[in-house]
């Protein structure tokens, strides 16, 4: 009985790592679909919605069953509760990747992203994907040392976000209001994706150490003074 229970607990952790990989792949493909105006890739990302919702629901069911039938305490209890928080963050990461893919679909066959913004979006995508991949390792290995590095990497995303605003508000911006609105929202989606990856890492720190620093409390990055 006790052994089956440990297996269920481990399954829950592995499930999180797999779901994180789905979110990471979704952001990678969404960014690519945006930069290459690839409609079928965008549609493929949008379709992961169902997958992520099923993964969330099955993790929640498993966690609730563990709580009801095994009444875990201490570290095991934290593992189950963390899983409930973490799958919510992971589903949200997937949803944000899907928002990016929807922007690509909405403007297809037009290119949403003017040339001077493309390298920034590319790097935002890369940083987001890397954060999610790191979060998957944190989840799989319960690696709190790695977990604590995610916050620093998230600063890169904030820098890119600032660069993006600077480009939008520069006197040399010639593309008018409509693409600026699209890009402001896209920047927000990438930034929030990264925030949730950091939140996942924080939840793993809680899981291992019991130190509760809260989940998604990263301050929003804002447009600069003008």
Please, which residue, 141 or 204, has the CB nearer to its own copies?
A: 204
Q: Determine, following the binding rule CB under 8 A, whether residue 109 of this chain makes contact with its own copies.
A: no
Q: Which of 24, 31, 48, 91 binds its own copies (CB under 8 A)?
A: 91
The count of chain residues that interact with its own copies, using the rule CB under 8 A, is 47
Q: Which stretch binds its own copies (CB under 8 A): 9-17, 71-79, 121-129, 152-160?
A: 71-79
Nearer Cβ to its own copies (43/60):
60
The count of other CB atoms within 10 Å of the CB of residue 57 is 12
Q: Does the protein bind its own copies through residue 81 (CB under 8 A)?
A: yes
Closest CB to its own copies among residues 119, 214: 214
Per-residue contact string for residues 36-55; x = within reach of its own copies by CB under 8 A: -----------------x--
**Sole window of 10-18, 33-41, 67-75, 138-146 interacting with its own copies (rule: CB under 8 A):** 67-75
Q: What is the smallest separation between the CB atom of 114 and its own copies, expressed in angstroms?
A: 12
3-state SS record for the chain? CHHHHHHHHHHHHHHHHHHHHHHHHHHHHHHHHHHHCCHHHHHHHHHHHHHHHHHHHHHHHHHHHHHHHHCCCHHHHHHHHHHHHHHHHHHHHHHHHHHHHHHHHHHCCCCCCCHHHHHHHHHHHHHHHHHHHHHHHHHHHCCHHHHHHHHHHHHHHHHHHHHHHHHHHCCCCCCCHHHHHHHHHHHHHHHHHHHHHHHHHHHHHHHHHCCCCCCCCCCCCCCCCC
Q: Which of 130, 143, 128 is nearest to 204 (CA)?
A: 143
Among 90, 120, 168, 198, binds its own copies (CB under 8 A): 168
Q: Which single residue is written with the structure tokens 């209001």?
A: 177
Which residue from 71, 197, 77, 76 is spatially nearest to 128, judged by alpha carbons? 197
Which residue of 1, 50, 68, 115 would you call a contact of its own copies, by CB under 8 A? 68
Among 7, 47, 51, 64, binds its own copies (CB under 8 A): 64
Kindly state the smallest distance separating residue 138's Cβ from its own copies, in Å: 19
Chain contacts with its own copies (rule: CB under 8 A):
53, 56-57, 60-61, 64, 67-68, 71, 73-74, 77-78, 81, 84-85, 88, 91-92, 95, 99, 102-103, 106, 165, 168-169, 173, 176-178, 180-182, 184-185, 188, 212, 214-217, 220, 222-223, 225-226
């Amino acid at each position: 009985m006790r052994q089956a229970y440990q297996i269920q607990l481990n399954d829950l952790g592995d499930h999180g790592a797999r779901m994180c990989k789905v979110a990471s792949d979704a952001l990678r493909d969404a960014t690519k679909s945006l930069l290459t105006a690839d409609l079928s890739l965008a549609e493929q990302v949008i379709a992961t919605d169902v997958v992520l919702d099923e993964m969330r629901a099955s993790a929640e069911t498993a966690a609730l069953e563990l709580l009801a039938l095994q009444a875990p305490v201490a570290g095991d209890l934290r593992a189950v509760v963390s899983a409930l928080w973490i799958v919510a963050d992971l589903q949200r990461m997937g949803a944000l990747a899907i928002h990016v893919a929807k922007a690509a679909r909405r403007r297809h066959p037009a290119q949403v992203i003017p040339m001077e913004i493309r390298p920034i979006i590319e790097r935002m995508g890369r940083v987001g994907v890397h954060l999610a991949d790191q979060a998957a390792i944190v989840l799989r290995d319960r690696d709190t040392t790695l977990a604590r590095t995610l916050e620093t990497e998230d600063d890169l995303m904030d820098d890119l976000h600032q660069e993006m605003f600077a480009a939008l508000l520069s006197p040399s911006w010639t593309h008018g209001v409509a693409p600026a609105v699209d890009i402001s929202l896209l920047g927000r989606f990438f930034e929030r994706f990264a925030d949730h990856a950091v939140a996942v890492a924080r939840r793993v720190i809680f899981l291992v150490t019991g130190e509760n620093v809260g989940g998604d409390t990263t301050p929003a990055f804002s447009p600069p003074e003008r």
